[in-house]
């Protein structure tokens, strides 16, 4: 069993790396210039590669949110070929769904709540926008480790709009965070199981500002995360996994019928099938010009005739 863990903040990654003495892989097996930091080792007999999405030197910040997490997941899948991908980190929780500070959740499904594409009937873009990435059935594992389970909802923002909140409630979200759905989409393309493991730092529907509560509980939640994450990895080593189910394979896409006409039509040099030329219509300006020119020629002819007679 080989497990890849994607983590967006060094505050979240450090306790796990330190506890298990994971060693940084240098040089990283990624494209030059990417900031991702892989750490490898063995946890309870399971091979683990933790990939921290890195530090943005330009803006002095962790590379949080879906873009860095998605690219890091792709790079890790290509480099390490894991049996499962985890998105581990901290998150907001919904008190109405039973979440408390320090709880650690295992995802049943991952969705987007701020990627909305409302379109007409007959298309799948609206459902595509929400994602609906189902996690493996791991209820027995969750019970053994002492995890809560629920829907994990993702956006690129720490705050949320009323529309975001309505979508999360309609999806039954228990957890709100900023990376998991991006990782889930990449894992699905590779047919690799994916699950999110998230520790709660703030209560979304609790009335306290999310940013303030997040930072005040970040250390506590990160410590709880590494304890539970260790047990999750150990149990995964004893758990058979199946590739994520894909409802149907897409039909082959024929791009030739949609190619720009200038690419489809090659002008022929042959005149065999050319249509006859269209007669050019004579404009009123052309007619006046001809009349004037005729008068000048007639005048010149008459003058020449008189000269010859004289």
Q: Name the catalytic one among 11, 12, 47, 212.
A: 12
Is residue 153 within 8 A of residue 113, CB to CB? The reply is yes
CB-CB neighbours of 127 under 10 Å: 10
Whether 12 is a known active-site residue: answer yes
DSSP characters over 85-139: EEEEEEEEE-GGGT--TT-EEEEEEEEESS------TT--HHHHHH--EEPP--H
Is residue 42 within 8 A of residue 120, CB to CB? The reply is no
CB-CB neighbours of 96 under 10 Å: 12
d(CA 5, CA 85): 6
- Give me the numbers of helices (H) and strands (E) for the chain, helices first please: 9, 12
d(CA 49, CA 46): 10
Whether 126 is a known active-site residue: answer no
Q: Name the catalytic one among 47, 202, 213, 254.
A: 202
The residues annotated with a catalytic role in the active site are: 12, 202
């Amino acid at each position: 069993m080989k497990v890849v863990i994607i983590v967006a903040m060094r505050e979240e990654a450090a306790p796990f790396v330190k506890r298990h003495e994971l060693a940084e892989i240098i040089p990283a097996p990624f494209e030059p210039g990417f900031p991702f930091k892989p750490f490898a080792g063995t946890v309870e007999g399971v091979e683990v590669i933790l990939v921290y999405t890195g530090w943005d030197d330009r803006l002095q910040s962790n590379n949080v949110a879906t873009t860095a997490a998605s690219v890091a997941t792709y790079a890790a899948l290509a480099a390490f070929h894991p049996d499962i991908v985890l998105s581990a980190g901290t998150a907001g929780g919904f008190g109405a769904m039973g979440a408390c500070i320090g709880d650690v959740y295992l995802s049943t499904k991952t969705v987007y709540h701020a990627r909305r594409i409302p379109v007409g009937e007959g298309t799948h873009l609206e459902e595509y926008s929400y994602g609906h990435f189902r996690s493996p059935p791991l209820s027995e594992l969750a019970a053994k480790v002492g995890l809560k389970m629920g829907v994990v909802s993702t956006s690129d923002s720490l705050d949320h709009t009323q529309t975001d909140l309505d979508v999360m409630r309609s999806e039954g979200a228990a957890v709100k965070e900023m990376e998991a759905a991006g990782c889930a989409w990449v894992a699905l393309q590779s047919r690799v199981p994916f699950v999110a493991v998230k520790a709660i730092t703030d209560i979304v529907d609790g009335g306290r500002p999310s940013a303030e509560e997040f930072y005040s509980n970040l250390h506590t939640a990160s410590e709880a995360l590494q304890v539970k994450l260790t047990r999750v990895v150990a149990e995964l080593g004893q758990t058979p996994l199946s590739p994520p189910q894909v409802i149907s394979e897409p039909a082959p896409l024929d791009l030739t019928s949609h190619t720009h006409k200038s690419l489809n039509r090659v002008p022929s040099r042959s005149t065999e099938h050319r249509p006859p030329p269209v007669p050019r219509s004579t404009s009123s300006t052309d007619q006046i010009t001809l009349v004037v020119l005729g008068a000048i020629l007639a005048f010149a002819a008459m003058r020449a005739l008189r000269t010859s007679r004289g």
